[in-house]
Amino acid sequence: MAGRRPAGTWNPGIQKDSLTTSDLVKRWETPIGTGYSGPMVHSNRVYVMDYTGDEIKQERVLCFDAVTGRELWSHSYECPYSVGYPTGPRASVLIAEGRAYALGTMGDLHCLDALSGEVLWYIDGEEEYQIDFPTWGLSASPLIEDGLLIVQLGGTPDACIVAFDKVTGEEAWRALSDNASYSSPIVIDQAGRRVLVC
């Protein structure tokens, strides 16, 4: 698809040599819960995750209009944390082909319709993969490559890295008997092959 830029890329054509305070005009703001999930902007929408609730703790996947800041949809689920520094999700939401993929701190993996927020499929990583959580929980953002959603779960047995069919959520493969780290996986071209680096 010529001319189409993948999500998460920067267009250097709009770069300025310097910025002044007059260049930075606040368009909108909205309160959300705690967390470290970097916002993802795609098709005039902003996607982010947060952590909220007093007695009942919940993670949420939120979608806002990028121009007005109006909330378009929210998906929440109960998620008590058992990790150190329990103040919110770390991984960014991944947008691809009309789907929003969100990995929570405790291994909740959602595939949502990016327009409506409808749950297309869900995997309870903690239950299905017996994750040995690192101190701050799961932090690495998901990655899509060749029809697969690749996620660093730190599961057992041999499920540190797990690849799922991006449409159905069916497991395609798993690899490594190791704990999850905090660095998101990437794919590179090396010696004529596509190589997953974690």
| pLDDT value of residue 8 | 61
Q: How is the chain split among helix, strand and coil, in percent rounded to 5?
A: 5, 40, 55
Whole-prediction pTM: 0.90
The amino acid present at 112, given as its one-letter code, is: L
pLDDT of residue 9: 67
* Residue numbers of the chain with a pLDDT score lower than 50: 1-2
d(CA 145, CA 183): 17
On the question of a cis peptide bond just before residue 142, with omega within 30 degrees of 0, the verdict is no
For 26-66, what is each residue's pLDDT tens digit?
899 999 999 999 999 999 999 999 999 988 999 999 999 99
Instruction: Tell me the H-state helices in 5-159.
Output: 125-129
Query: Residue 17: its pLDDT value, please?
Result: 78
Instruction: Go through the domains of the chain in sequence order and give each one's CATH number.
Output: 31-197 (2.40.128.630)
CA 45 – CA 69 distance, rounded (Å) = 9
Who's near 77: CB < 8 A, 6+ residues apart?
Answer: 58, 59, 60, 104, 108, 110
